[in-house]
Amino acid sequence: MDTNSFTDLIKQKCLDVGFSKSGIAPVQYYQEDKIHLEKWIDNGYHASMNWMKNNIEKRTNISNYYQDSKSVISVAINYFTGNSTEEYTAPFISNYALGKDYHIIIKSKLKILLEEIQKIDKDIVGYYCVDTSPIMEKAWAQRAGIGWIGKHTNLITREFGSWVFLGELIINKELSYDSPFSTDLCGTCNLCIDECPTDAIVEPYNLDSNKCISYVTIEHKGDFEEKNMIDLNDWIFGCDICQEVCPWNIKFSEFSNEKDFFDRYSLKEKDYKFWENLTEEEFRKIFKNSPVKRTKYSGLKRNISEAKHK
């Protein structure tokens, strides 16, 4: 099978297993990735996420992660299930965390994708990655033509806005490559910057995690420090404000085909009374295989208390 046909087959397989978009880029070293990451870390914008300082050489050079890599197959899957603040009362949980953990879903689909490819070419070796791997996934998605990195630092697609999860399959075979998405379609719009209630987007394309509601409610461990004492604006896990105001999301968002992303326990309808009375046993039941497990019961209760009393 020639390279173009094999590439087309891979892209069809991506759709078959349930991804919404795919694109492919050649493995190369991009010095700008390292410069951008090191500057972001030097500014302290990574907050307590010290793992961002680890494996910088791997994170900014895929060949250091997988020596025989030739191609990065980037995939995106639409996860939109409706805005969290549009029709429901406080408090709020980010859209992405209302259903099953996306890591489980995407890794499962990438595993199937790799197995399908290996049925055609048994010499292919691949590694599949979600955001827990040291990969600059938004940069690679843009190089694969999937979309562009918006001013809020999320990847935006023409078809689904920024309501997409990303994943990568890195393989040891050259393919036909897509053109990078080279146009910044944010234009002069600054709504994500203007509407962020904590000024976490310190400048276009640059986010200070210390001020970000998503970081504070998910990644920060223990009590809030002075630099993290921000108004959570009724968000108890994550935050979608910068995405909800984005014109691309308002115009192009459509409901996901992946039922596992949907709100299994009607969490959008729960009020502060429900969350304040939530027991640890209920937490384990509701958030089994959920991204919310990351903050643990104690972290979620901390968030609930902080959000209500601001």
Q: Among all residues, which ones are annotated catalytic? A: 131
All residues at 6 or more sequence positions from 168 whose CB lies less than 8 Å from its CB, including other chains? 72, 73, 74, 75, 110, 128, 129, 133, 135, 137, 140
72: which strand partners?
25, 170
Q: Which of 299, 271, 298, 297 is nearest to 285 (CA)?
A: 297
For every residue of 65-118, DSSP letters joined together read HSTT--EEEEEEEE-----SSSS--S-EE-GGGSSS-HHHHHHHHHHHHHHHHH
Please give the single-letter amino acid code of residue 285: K
Please give the single-letter amino acid code of residue 193: I
For every residue of 144-165, DSSP letters joined together read TTS-EE-TTSSEEBTTTBT-EE
Angle between helices 3-16 and 102-120 (to 10 degrees): 150
Q: Which two tokens stand for residue 234?
A: 């009724």
